[in-house]
């Protein structure tokens, strides 16, 4: 059997969307599952859309996720089909375009942008849509309508001509997709796509993509649904070249959490979640948030992405990369779009946080403490982490949950103070605190006196944390110690007006 070889072929036109990361992930899982190769190819032939920094962003995103190509851009070691950046392969493509012309599958087109615009508006005025194909090419300026002399003269004198695919007239293209099954499209609805441009001496996406998939011996093309409309042309190109076709699988779209349509950056901005794996700063300085910087663990991110479109067929939701590789199949990828649920994304991170060791989490929390000017003893931090990790979704929550174990409150929540800082309660709380040496003793003391437990405890809590919620008093007192508890209580007595 042919070796499984798949590729992720992004264009460096901006930050990689999380849907793109999912495409890379499914390619990677499929390759690993089948003992094959996963290749990273950079499709940068559209110089108008090129964005500096985007390629590095793609490489770093995949690395962060642990989606590691074994061949391609950024890979050290054996790269049998190098280079993998299409701009560095520019010399390869022209001869393939010429080969299509020789065999009657393509032609030179000389129409200027203005001429095409004119044809378009004329069609519109007649209530039609202009399609550059068998229906119209006979009256346009190309090597099928002009004489040989005119053609050679234009080829030499002009630098804005293109090579176009000659879309067959009245044919039904029969296609198969692993996810979508059999598909048929009439060629009369398709246009003569530009394959190569003299202006920049570069191929367009379609030609470069097919030539490279062929030369790189790609066995399966796994890509987003947005490329489905290109499939008939790609089928016909393989046929025209006389090459064996790879198998195709078009993945469902990632959809907005609410309403219809594709998940966009705007949805993320509106609802407060990232749509990019890493933070991105555009060349114009616009900043977009990333999952990494928002505090997601890469394995949690990979896990949640894997389940957006693929269904393991069981109830299992938590998968390591190895488990994903084991369980993955394209047959279990759905046809319909996968709705993104930001709450579920958080749930995944919470689960992954809980699974992490106290040591690891301590290592992550220490720098956060340092940022707040706290220089704490790691063993003590570890105990605190063990106590609070069940309550957190992100490591950054640790501070919000437990900051008062590291420093005294500066302020008190007004509404809580008004409710609990009452003369009677303060007196009882002060006595209970001073007369006992541990939280347990203190509780017994309050009980023995038959004082209102809740009121007294909330009064103490207010003094220790600045509000009436937080961890249990016993835990707080254990961590800060009796001395500090008393000191905070006296501070509260000085600062709070009854």
Q: Give the nearer residue to ligand GLU in terms of CB position, either 9 or 395.
A: 9
For residue 212, the minimal CB distance to ligand GLU (Å) is 10
CA separation for the pair 198, 163 (Å, rounded): 8
Q: Could you give the dihedral angle defined by the CA atoms of residues 425, 429, 432 and 437, in that order, rounded to the nearest 10 degrees?
A: 170
Token reading at 356:
């992490």
For residue 6, the minimal CB distance to ligand GLU (Å) is 10
Helix (H, G, I), strand (E, B) or coil at 82: coil
Phi, psi (degrees; rounded to nearest 5) at 226: -65, -15
Of the candidates 5, 6, 11, 219, which one interacts with ligand GLU according to CB under 6 A?
A: 11
Determine if 50 is a binding residue for ligand GLU (CB under 6 A). no
For residue 316, the minimal CB distance to ligand GLU (Å) is 29
Determine if 133 is a binding residue for ligand GLU (CB under 6 A). no
Determine if 54 is a binding residue for ligand GLU (CB under 6 A). no
Binding residues for ligand GLU, how many (CB under 6 A)? 8
CA separation for the pair 272, 299 (Å, rounded): 21
CA separation for the pair 314, 317 (Å, rounded): 8
Determine if 209 is a binding residue for ligand GLU (CB under 6 A). yes
- Per CB under 6 A, the segment of 5-13, 100-108, 265-273, 292-300 that binds ligand GLU is 5-13
Q: Could you give the dihedral angle defined by the CA atoms of residues 243, 237, 197 and 145, in that order, rounded to the nearest 10 degrees?
A: 120
For residue 86, the minimal CB distance to ligand GLU (Å) is 9
Q: Give the nearer residue to ligand GLU in terms of CB position, either 10 or 277.
A: 10
For residue 39, the minimal CB distance to ligand GLU (Å) is 11
CA separation for the pair 292, 276 (Å, rounded): 9
Pattern 147-186, ligand GLU, x by CB under 6 A: ----------------------------------------
For residue 41, the minimal CB distance to ligand GLU (Å) is 8
307-336 residues near ligand GLU, rule: CB under 6 A: none
Determine if 216 is a binding residue for ligand GLU (CB under 6 A). no
State the catalytic residue, choosing from 265, 344, 350, 455.
Answer: 265
Determine if 227 is a binding residue for ligand GLU (CB under 6 A). yes
In which residue are the tokens 């928002």 written? 294
In which residue are the tokens 């991105």 written? 280
Token reading at 223:
């890509």
Determine if 43 is a binding residue for ligand GLU (CB under 6 A). yes
Mode of pairing for the β-strands spanning 254-255 and 37-40:
unpaired
Active-site residue 265, yes or no?
A: yes
CA separation for the pair 27, 245 (Å, rounded): 17
Contact 241/98 with Cβ under 8 angstroms? Answer: no
Q: Angle at which helices 439-448 and 453-465 pack, to 10 degrees? A: 150
Determine if 10 is a binding residue for ligand GLU (CB under 6 A). yes
Widest Cα–Cα separation across the chain: 111
Q: Give the nearer residue to ligand GLU in terms of CB position, either 243 or 347.
A: 243
Q: How many CB atoms lie within 10 A of CB 304?
A: 24
Determine if 223 is a binding residue for ligand GLU (CB under 6 A). yes
In which residue are the tokens 């375009």 written? 97
Contact 129/195 with Cβ under 8 angstroms? Answer: no
Determine if 27 is a binding residue for ligand GLU (CB under 6 A). no
The residues carrying an active-site annotation are 265
Query: What residue ranges bind ligand GLU (CB under 6 A)?
Result: 9-11, 43, 205, 209, 223, 227
């Amino acid at each position: 059997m042919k070796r499984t070889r798949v590729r992720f072929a992004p264009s460096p036109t901006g930050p990689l969307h999380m849907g793109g990361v999912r495409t890379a992930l499914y390619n990677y899982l499929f390759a690993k599952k089948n003992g094959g190769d996963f290749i990273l190819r950079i499709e940068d032939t559209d110089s108008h859309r090129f964005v500096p920094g985007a390629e590095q962003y793609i490489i770093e995103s995949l690395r962060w996720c642990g989606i590691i190509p074994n061949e391609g851009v950024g890979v050290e070691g054996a790269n049998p089909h190098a280079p993998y950046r299409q701009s560095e392969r520019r010399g390869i493509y022209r001869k393939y375009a010429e080969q299509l012309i020789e065999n009657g599958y393509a032609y030179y087109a000389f129409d200027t942008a203005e001429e095409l615009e004119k044809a378009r508006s004329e069609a519109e005025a007649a209530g039609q849509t202009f399609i550059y194909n068998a229906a119209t090419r006979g009256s346009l300026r190309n090597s099928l309508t002009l004489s040989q002399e005119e053609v050679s003269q234009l080829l030499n004198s002009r630098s804005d001509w293109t090579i176009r695919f000659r879309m067959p007239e009245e044919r039904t293209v029969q296609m198969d997709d692993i996810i979508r099954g059999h598909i048929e499209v009439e060629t009369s609805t398709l246009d003569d796509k530009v394959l190569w441009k003299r202006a920049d001496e570069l191929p367009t996406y379609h030609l470069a993509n097919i030539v490279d998939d062929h030369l790189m011996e790609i066995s399966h093309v796994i890509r987003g649904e947005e490329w489905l409309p290109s499939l008939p042309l790609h089928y016909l190109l393989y046929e025209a070249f006389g090459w064996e076709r790879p198998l195709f699988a078009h993945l469902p779209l990632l959809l907005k959490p609410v309403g219809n349509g594709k998940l966009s950056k705007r949805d993320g901005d509106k609802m407060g979640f990232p749509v990019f794996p890493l933070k991105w700063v555009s060349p114009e300085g616009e900043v977009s948030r990333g999952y990494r910087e928002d505090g997601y663990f890469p394995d949690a991110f990979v896990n949640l992405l894997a389940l957006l479109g693929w269904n393991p067929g069981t109830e299992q939701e938590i998968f390591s990369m190895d488990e994903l590789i084991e369980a993955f199949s394209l047959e279990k990828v759905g046809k319909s779009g996968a709705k993104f649920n930001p709450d579920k994304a958080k749930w995944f991170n919470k689960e992954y946080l809980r699974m992490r060791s106290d040591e690891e989490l301590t290592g992550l929390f220490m720098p956060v403490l340092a940022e707040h000017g706290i220089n704490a003893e790691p063993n003590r931090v570890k105990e605190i982490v063990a106590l609070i990790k069940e309550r957190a979704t992100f490591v950054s929550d640790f501070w919000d949950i437990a900051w008062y174990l590291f420093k005294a409150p500066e302020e008190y929540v007004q509404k809580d103070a008004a409710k609990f800082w009452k003369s009677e309660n303060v007196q009882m709380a002060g006595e209970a605190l001073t007369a006992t040496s541990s939280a347990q003793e203190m509780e017994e003391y309050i009980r023995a006196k038959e004082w209102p437990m809740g009121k007294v405890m909330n009064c103490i809590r207010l003094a220790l944390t600045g509000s009436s919620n937080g961890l249990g008093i016993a835990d707080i007192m254990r961590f800060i110690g009796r001395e500090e508890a008393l000191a905070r209580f006296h501070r509260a007595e000085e600062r709070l007006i009854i």
